[in-house]
Structure 1
Amino acid sequence: MRAADARAGHGERPWWWDAVCYQVDVGAFADVDGDGVGDLDGVRDRFGYLELLGVDAVVLAGTAGLDPSAPDFAELLAEAHAAGVRVMVALDVDPARTDPARVLEPWLEHGADGVHLAPREDPTGAVRSVLARYPDRVVIGTGDWHLSFNLDLAIAGFAAGPLRAAITGALAGPGPRTAWAMASRDTSRSRDDAALTPVRSMALVQLALPGAVCLRHGEELGLPGTERIPMPWEGDRPPFGFSQAAGDWSSIPAEWAAFTVEAQLEDESSTLSLYRQALEVRSSHPAFTGDEVEWFGAPEDCFAFRRVGSRLTCALNTSSASVPLPPGELLLSSRPLDGEDLPPGTAAWLV
């Protein structure tokens, strides 16, 4: 049972309070019917991977042209619910040109557990009026919804000062629960070990914070950029198990053979293994409680915070030198420690 379900079962928190939401760009995730484009059956075919990763909800993006009344959505929904995973849908609703009911209702009527709304002005409250008819569904978006989608960590860059300010600002005052997103803004198509260092450390920072987390598919593999490039699953050449269709797969870099799920799954030092460990610890360790953070003194270009009411401390070093770790037992670090010190570009969890 996932931690979100366990808390809800005790009447403490709703399932989405600290949920890990995994956004799947359907057309770029897995192709089952062989037309070269990902499909809902592809998501269902790879659902075991999502269970292995340990996510609480799947958010389907790129759903234009898909039919929520079709059997493939019903089958995906049933399989997900049987595994204790919710299914949400990312929708772009512009009330200035579109009737929100026509976009939202088909998915909600056919069982979607909620929606992730693209940021749009809604001066008439038309979107809110539709969603009010489905009070049991969860909404992620910009504004006063259940979860407030927040990219401040990505915007702040990899520097302790701006990151601390972004965290403090997002958690200050009343408002909806934060849903932290950290998908790379880097548009390069290559990635080396040095480039992965901040990716790995920010994964631990993001997952240590109070609130939900929004991952985008491929983020857990350390894939660069934000383009919808097909998910690399296995093999040593494009399209890396995404599709059996013949065609031009030059949009997928050949060097991504090292980033496939297959290549990383059994490698304990891989980025995928780090995400899997982090999600497992986050969901099972009792230290991951508390809705506020308190800050400790730290060396320049570093920070350390603890979730109030818990024993969890997260430390981050964005300086160019190793620094002493805060007191506590090490749970996980984004890179191996330098003796008893935290190396540059590294984050750690301690209790």
Structure 2
Amino acid sequence: MRWWRDAVFYQVYVRSFSDSDGDGVGDLDGIRSRLGYLELLGVDALWLTPFYRSPMTDHGYDVADPRDVDPVFGNLAAFDALVEEAHRHGIRVTIDLVPNHSSSEHEWFRAALESAPGSPERARYHFKPGRGPDGAEPPNNWHSVFGGPAWSRVPDGEWYLHLFAAEQPDLNWTNPEVWADLEKTLRFWCDRGVDGFRIDVAHGMSKPEGLPDHAGPGAALLAHTDDDPRFDHEGVHDVHRMIRAVLDHYPGRMAVGEVWVRDDDRFARYVRPDELHLGFNFRLVQTAFDAAEVREAIEHSLESVAGVGAHPTWTLSNHDVSRPVTRYGGGALGLARARAMALVVLALPGVVYLYNGEELGLPDVELPDWALQDPVWERSGRTERGRDSCRVPVPWEGDGPGFGFTSGEPWLPMPDDWAALTVAAQIEDTDSTLSFFRRALELRDEHAVSAGSGVEWFGAPPGCLAFRRSGSTLVCALNTSDEPVPLPPGDVLLTSGPLCDDGRLPPDTAAWLA
């Protein structure tokens, strides 16, 4: 049962969605209180970011116990209640897993620090002696994705590897205990009724033997290339085969990987029939608002999965990247383009992921220095502001400072001018971005029933594109040029913005026709 084949997933950044207890941080009960809204929006499933026990150095992606709930988010009873009620609303629940690293507060890492070099406790991580006469230099030249070296030294002189923050030591996936623990975690949550998993850093985990130096010029913050030895090592596919083997014992469960691999052939390896069901392809996230580039990204994304029989997975945003409104130019222009691109993505075959607040047209927020919490800010020497700007809480109603997200002070400040962007302000406004998304999801559901997995392209003026999903009567047209263009033949179902008085498609606009 591949219920996810055409599903629309909604990413809930748990800290920023809805706070039930007034502490300024979103929680599981807050999500449960908003399930009616999510059902009204029309999404099929949720992806919850980590809610496990954690010191929150990286806001939950530093996991101290992957089989318990951090008190800031609730407890296991609250999680069980959320899953049960979501299912009553017809919404499935998928959760984040973080297998590349643990928290430095995990019991394993605390034991490793208390043990001697060469001990079984240290073998669960990557502990190495340093280079140089006194071992004072890191074991290799790798950098952390968050800035600075990827190694930290402990008092006895050894170094440990952390591709992210120092508080996120990388696990050693040549150690059978690490494998067994992930299998235990998978079964724990499947037994509690979850419908699937999003695998964080799914191209990580496995490391090349000997941990050779990076031959390139050095990685940029929050980025890497396909020749980076830190990622996409061949052994990672064995991990995904194990994940798949476990999930195959639980009918109807799925796994999607965060796969920052651009090469089509290498990407396809992650979604082979015995590995992950889906893989995030981030080409559209990295593509400018240009019809030719958008078409190329779509074609690559379709080709990358066609040969292995997997479904394409589309997204324009998440908690790690600038929001579409800001990325496409900001203000009215950015919003117009973001709405247009939403129509493009929702017309494509396969799986779509929306990020909380995307349906409200939220932009990034320019936060003051004192508010920044992303570890990138400090590890970069306060030269990179990090990802907090796209993580500001969702505004639900009323005025600041909490906008219905919390009765207290939100964990990140919310702009004073967001009153017009709240759910309450948009839900009855037929011209609002929220109403636009609701109608788009409704139409997508109607037209996806008998549609195929391919795309048929039509001729289009320069700076434009037009396509139809195979087997569907729905045609999508996008105008990224500077001039209005004629629409393809058909009855207009939905547009991302008003058409010209003469019926032509304006710049920065998309339309669906039947």
Q: Is TM > 0.5 for Structure 1 vs Structure 2?
A: yes
Distance 1:38 1:255, change over 3 A: same
Aligned to 1:11: none
- SS of alignment partner, residue 305 of structure 1: strand
Give, in angstroms, the shift of residue 105 of structure 1.
3.5
Aligned to 2:479: 317
- SS of alignment partner, residue 284 of structure 2: helix
**Distance in 2, Cα, partners of 1:209 & 1:286:** 9
2:496 to 331, 334, 338: 334
Q: Which amino acid aligns with 2:353?
A: C
Whether the aligned pair in 1 keeps the contact of 2:15 and 2:25 (CA below 8 Å) is yes
Q: Does 1:306 align with 2:468?
A: yes
Q: Does 1:97 align with 2:171?
A: yes
2:313 to 158, 179, 204: 179
**Distance in 2, Cα, partners of 1:42 & 1:114:** 21
- SS of alignment partner, residue 289 of structure 1: coil
Whether the aligned pair in 2 keeps the contact of 1:93 and 1:103 (CA below 8 Å) is no
Q: Does 1:345 align with 2:508?
A: yes
Q: Which amino acid aligns with 1:346?
A: T
Aligned to 1:75: 81
Q: Does 1:241 align with 2:404?
A: yes
- SS of alignment partner, residue 88 of structure 1: strand
The worse-fitting range, judged by mean Cα deviation, of 267-276 and 65-74 is 65-74
Over the aligned positions, Cα root-mean-square deviation in angstroms equals 2.2
1:207 to 316, 338, 346: 346
Aligned to 1:115: 197
Give, in angstroms, the shift of residue 191 of structure 1.
4.8
- SS of alignment partner, residue 417 of structure 2: helix
Give, in angstroms, the shift of residue 127 of structure 1.
4.5
Distance 1:72 1:275, change over 3 A: same
2:90 to 84, 88, 91: 84
1:264 to 423, 426, 443: 426
Aligned to 2:291: 160
Aligned to 1:139: 255
Aligned to 2:414: 252
- SS of alignment partner, residue 328 of structure 1: coil
- SS of alignment partner, residue 34 of structure 1: coil
Q: Which amino acid aligns with 1:256?
A: W
Aligned to 2:11: 23
Whether the aligned pair in 1 keeps the contact of 2:6 and 2:448 (CA below 8 Å) is no
Whether the aligned pair in 2 keeps the contact of 1:21 and 1:57 (CA below 8 Å) is yes
Q: Deviations over 1:181-214 (max 9, x none)?
A: 1117436699522220110000100000000101
The worse-fitting range, judged by mean Cα deviation, of 100-109 and 315-324 is 100-109
Whether the aligned pair in 2 keeps the contact of 1:287 and 1:311 (CA below 8 Å) is no
Number of positions where the alignment pairs a residue of Structure 1 with one of Structure 2 = 338
**Distance in 1, Cα, partners of 2:359 & 2:410:** 26
Q: Deviations over 1:250-275 (max 9, x none)?
A: 72111111111111111111111110
Give, in angstroms, the shift of residue 37 of structure 1.
1.1
Give, in angstroms, the shift of residue 103 of structure 1.
4.3
**Distance in 2, Cα, partners of 1:63 & 1:46:** 17
Q: Deviations over 1:95-130 (max 9, x none)?
A: 750632354333223111000112233426234314
Give, in angstroms, the shift of residue 148 of structure 1.
1.9
Larger relative CO (CA 8 A, sep 6+): 1 or 2? 1
Give, in angstroms, the shift of residue 248 of structure 1.
6.7
Q: Which amino acid aligns with 2:322?
A: D
Q: Which amino acid aligns with 1:115?
A: F
Q: Deviations over 1:220-250 (max 9, x none)?
A: 11112363211100002221001112x3777
**Distance in 1, Cα, partners of 2:196 & 2:29:** 20
**Distance in 2, Cα, partners of 1:259 & 1:288:** 35
Whether the aligned pair in 1 keeps the contact of 2:401 and 2:410 (CA below 8 Å) is no
- SS of alignment partner, residue 303 of structure 1: strand
Give, in angstroms, the shift of residue 150 of structure 1.
1.7
Could you tell me which runs of 5 or more consecutive residues in structure 1 were left unpaired when the two chains were aligned: 1-7, 9-13
Whether the aligned pair in 1 keeps the contact of 2:447 and 2:474 (CA below 8 Å) is no
Aligned to 2:442: 280
> Which runs of structure 2 are paired with 1:221-240 in the superposition (5 Å)?
221-225=360-364, 227-240=390-403
TM-score by length of 2: 0.62
**Distance in 2, Cα, partners of 1:104 & 1:342:** 48
Whether the aligned pair in 2 keeps the contact of 1:183 and 1:215 (CA below 8 Å) is yes
- SS of alignment partner, residue 115 of structure 1: strand
- SS of alignment partner, residue 289 of structure 2: coil
Aligned to 1:49: 37
Distance 1:230 1:126, change over 3 A: same
Q: Relative to total residues, which structure has the larger strand share, 1 or 2?
A: 1
Distance 1:255 1:264, change over 3 A: same
Q: Deviations over 1:62-114 (max 9, x none)?
A: 32328367111111111111122110002221175063235433322311100
Whether the aligned pair in 2 keeps the contact of 1:20 and 1:212 (CA below 8 Å) is yes
**Distance in 1, Cα, partners of 2:449 & 2:89:** 25
**Distance in 2, Cα, partners of 1:286 & 1:81:** 22
Give, in angstroms, the shift of residue 45 of structure 1.
0.6
**Distance in 1, Cα, partners of 2:449 & 2:484:** 26
Q: Which amino acid aligns with 1:33?
A: D
- SS of alignment partner, residue 430 of structure 2: coil
**Distance in 2, Cα, partners of 1:333 & 1:196:** 13
**Distance in 2, Cα, partners of 1:250 & 1:42:** 17
Q: Which amino acid aligns with 1:275?
A: F
- SS of alignment partner, residue 346 of structure 2: helix
Q: Deviations over 1:295-329 (max 9, x none)?
A: 11110000001112222111000001100000011
